[in-house]
C-alpha cells in the first residue's frame, strides 16, 4: 500500500486503531455481558472475532484494513471481559491472586510464540491467518464453560443456576451435594411482594435509585475521590504508554528485531512474580513508584548512551539490555495499579472508578504508536516524552495513601481517613505532632519532678 514517504505514519495508525477498539470494547463489553449473559456474549463474540480477524488478511486497502482492525479490538474486549469474570467467579478467594496473574503471564507466552512465528512467516497476510488459528479452537472449548451462577440468579433462572451448581459439584466430586440449592419458594414470595407495590411507588423508587446512582458517580469528581481518579488515571495512562512504547520500539533497536521482541516479552515473567512478592511484603504503592522511576532512569540512559559510546556493537548490546530492563521495570508497576484501583475507590463507585481509570489508560496505549513515530523527527524524542510522563506519575503517586494492611475503602469518609493517616506527608506530620506532644509532656513531667525534688532537699 506504499506506506512510505508521506504515508509512513500509517503503520502507527493501524496499531492505534486496534487499541482504539479496545477502548470502545471496554465500554460495551461489560453491559452486553450483564444483559445477555457471559457465555452467550463470549460465544457470539468469538464467532464475530474470528470472521473479522480472517477478513483482515483479505483487505485490499488501508481503509478496509483499519476498519477491520478497529472492529477486532472492540470485539476482543467483548471476549476478554466475560472470560476473565467467569474465571474469577469460579475461584475461591485464596486462589484468586495466584490465578489472577495467569492471563498476564499467558499473554507474555503468546507474544514469545508470536515472535517465533513472525520470524518464520514473513508475509503479513499468512501470518495473520496463522495467528488467528488458536481463537478458532477457543470456539470449541468455550462451549464447555458454564454460565455464571450469579448472573443466572440475578435474572431469576433458579433451575439453571442449580443445574450449574450440580455440574460443578460433580466435577469436584463433592459428596452428598443437595439437589435443591436455592430456596425457590422464598424467591417467589419476594417476587410476589414486589408485585404488590403500586406503579406510582415503583416509579418513584426507580427515579430515586436513578438519582442516587448519579450522586454516586458524581463522587468520582469530588475530593478526595477526585484526587484518586486523577492520579490513578494518569498513572495507568503512563503505564500503558511506556509498556506499549517498549513493546513497539524493541523491534527498531539495533540487533535482530524478532529476537529483541522475544526477549522483551520474556522480561514480563520475572517482573510479574517480583511485583506480586513486593506487594505482599511492602504494599502496592512502593512497587508502583519504584517501577515508574526505574523505567524513567533506564530510558534516560537509552537517550544518553548513543552520545557517549561510539562502538556500534557495544552500543547495540547495551541498548537492547536497557530496553529489556525498562520493560521489566514498567511491568513491576502494572499489578499494583489493579490493586490500588480496587482498594482506593469507595464501594458504591468502585466499578465506575475502575472503568474510568482503564478508559483513560487506553489513551496511553492508543497514543503509543504515534508517540513512537515522533522519533522520525528527533532521535529518542519518544523516550523523552515517556520519561516526563513516568516521573510525573511517580511524583503524583506519592500523594496517594498506602493500602498495606488496610481494608478496602467502603465510603468516602474511609478514604478521607486514609489520606489523613496513610500518605507519606500525613505520616510525617503525625509523627512530628506526636514527637512535639511527647516532648511537651516529658518537659512538663521532668520540671514537676525537679520542683518536688528541690522541695524535699530544702532548696525551694
pLDDT tens sequence across 210-226: 434 445 567 777 778 88
pLDDT at 444: 46
In this structure, are residues 379 and 254 in contact, taking their beta carbons and an 8 Å threshold?
Answer: no
Give the other-Cβ count within 10 Å of 86's Cβ: 20
In this structure, are residues 22 and 365 in contact, taking their beta carbons and an 8 Å threshold?
Answer: yes
pLDDT at 300: 94
The answer to the question of residue 213 being in a domain is: no
Q: Which parts of 171-250 are beta strand (E)?
A: none
Give the other-Cβ count within 10 Å of 179's Cβ: 6
Is residue 385 domain-shared with residue 257, that is, in the same domain? yes
Highest-confidence range of 33-42, 260-269, 294-303, by mean pLDDT?
294-303
Is residue 406 domain-shared with residue 438, that is, in the same domain? no
pLDDT in tens, 132-172: 888 888 888 778 788 877 777 767 778 888 788 888 788 77
DSSP 180: -
In this structure, are residues 265 and 108 in contact, taking their beta carbons and an 8 Å threshold?
Answer: yes
Whether this prediction's pTM lies above 0.75 is answered by no
428 pLDDT band, cuts 50/70/90, is: low
CATH number of the domain enclosing 54: 1.20.1250.20
Mean pLDDT of 344-348: 75
CA 408 to chain centroid, in Å, comes to 17
Is residue 330 domain-shared with residue 450, that is, in the same domain? no
CA atoms of 20 and 244, how far apart (whole Å)? 14
pLDDT at 425: 67
Is residue 92 domain-shared with residue 237, that is, in the same domain? no
pLDDT at 292: 96
Is residue 398 domain-shared with residue 449, that is, in the same domain? no
The answer to the question of residue 84 being in a domain is: yes
Question: Where would I find the H helices in 283-311?
Answer: 285-308
Give the other-Cβ count within 10 Å of 252's Cβ: 11
The answer to the question of residue 21 being in a domain is: yes
Q: Which domain range does residue 450 map to? A: 423-457
Is residue 270 domain-shared with residue 391, that is, in the same domain? yes
Number of H helices, E strands in the chain: 20, 0
For the chain, the domain total comes to: 3
Q: Which parts of 246-363 are beta strand (E)?
A: none
Given the C-alpha cell 450469579, which residue does it identify?
Answer: 150
Name the least confident of 92-96, 255-259, 312-316: 92-96
Amino acid at each position: 500500500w506504499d506506506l512510505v514517504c508521506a504515508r509512513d505514519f500509517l503503520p502507527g495508525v493501524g496499531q492505534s486503531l486496534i487499541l482504539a477498539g479496545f477502548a470502545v470494547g471496554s465500554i460495551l463489553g461489560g453491559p452486553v455481558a450483564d444483559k445477555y449473559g457471559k457465555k452467550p456474549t463470549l460465544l457470539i463474540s468469538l464467532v464475530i472475532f474470528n470472521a473479522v480477524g480472517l477478513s483482515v488478511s483479505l483487505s485490499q486497502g488501508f481503509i478496509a484494513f483499519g476498519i477491520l482492525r478497529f472492529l477486532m479490538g472492540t470485539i476482543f474486549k467483548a471476549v476478554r471481559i466475560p472470560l476473565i469474570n467467569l474465571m474469577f467467579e469460579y475461584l475461591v478467594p485464596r486462589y484468586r491472586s495466584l490465578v489472577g496473574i495467569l492471563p498476564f503471564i499467558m499473554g507474555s507466552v503468546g507474544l514469545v510464540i508470536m515472535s517465533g512465528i513472525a520470524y518464520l512467516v514473513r508475509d503479513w497476510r499468512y501470518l495473520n491467518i496463522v495467528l488467528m488459528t488458536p481463537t478458532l479452537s477457543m470456539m470449541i472449548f468455550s462451549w464447555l464453560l458454564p454460565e455464571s451462577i450469579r448472573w443466572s440468579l440475578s435474572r431469576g433462572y433458579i433451575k439453571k443456576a442449580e443445574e450449574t451448581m450440580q455440574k460443578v459439584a460433580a466435577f469436584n466430586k463433592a459428596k452428598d451435594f443437595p439437589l435443591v440449592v436455592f430456596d425457590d419458594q422464598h424467591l417467589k414470595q419476594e417476587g410476589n411482594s414486589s408485585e404488590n407495590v403500586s406503579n406510582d411507588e415503583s416509579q418513584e423508587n426507580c427515579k430515586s435509585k436513578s438519582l442516587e446512582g448519579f450522586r454516586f458517580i458524581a463522587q468520582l469528581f469530588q475530593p478526595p475521590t477526585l484526587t484518586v481518579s486523577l492520579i490513578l488515571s494518569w498513572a495507568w495512562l503512563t503505564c500503558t504508554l511506556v509498556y506499549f512504547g517498549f513493546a513497539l520500539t524493541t523491534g527498531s533497536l539495533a540487533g535482530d528485531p524478532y529476537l529483541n521482541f522475544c526477549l522483551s516479552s520474556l522480561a514480563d515473567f520475572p517482573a510479574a512474580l517480583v511485583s506480586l512478592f513486593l506487594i505482599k511484603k511492602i504494599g502496592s504503592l512502593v512497587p508502583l513508584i519504584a517501577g515508574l522511576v526505574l523505567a524513567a532512569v533506564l530510558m534516560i540512559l537509552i537517550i544518553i548512551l548513543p552520545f557517549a559510546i561510539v562502538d556500534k556493537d557495544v552500543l547495540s548490546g547495551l541498548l537492547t539490555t536497557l530496553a529489556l530492563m525498562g520493560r521489566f521495570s514498567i511491568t513491576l508497576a502494572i499489578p499494583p495499579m489493579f490493586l490500588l484501583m480496587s482498594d482506593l475507590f469507595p464501594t458504591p463507585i468502585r466499578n465506575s472508578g475502575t472503568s474510568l481509570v482503564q478508559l483513560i489508560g487506553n489513551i496511553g496505549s492508543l497514543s503509543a504508536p504515534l508517540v513512537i513515530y515522533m522519533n522520525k523527527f528527533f532521535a529518542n524524542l519518544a523516550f523523552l516524552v515517556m520519561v516526563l510522563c513516568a516521573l510525573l506519575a511517580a511524583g503524583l503517586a506519592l500523594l496517594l495513601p498506602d493500602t498495606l494492611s488496610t481494608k478496602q475503602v467502603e465510603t468516602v469518609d474511609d478514604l478521607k481517613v486514609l489520606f489523613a493517616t496513610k500518605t507519606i506527608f500525613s505520616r510525617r506530620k503525625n509523627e512530628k505532632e506526636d514527637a512535639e506532644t511527647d516532648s511537651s509532656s516529658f518537659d512538663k513531667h521532668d520540671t514537676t519532678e525537679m520542683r518536688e525534688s528541690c522541695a524535699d532537699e530544702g532548696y525551694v
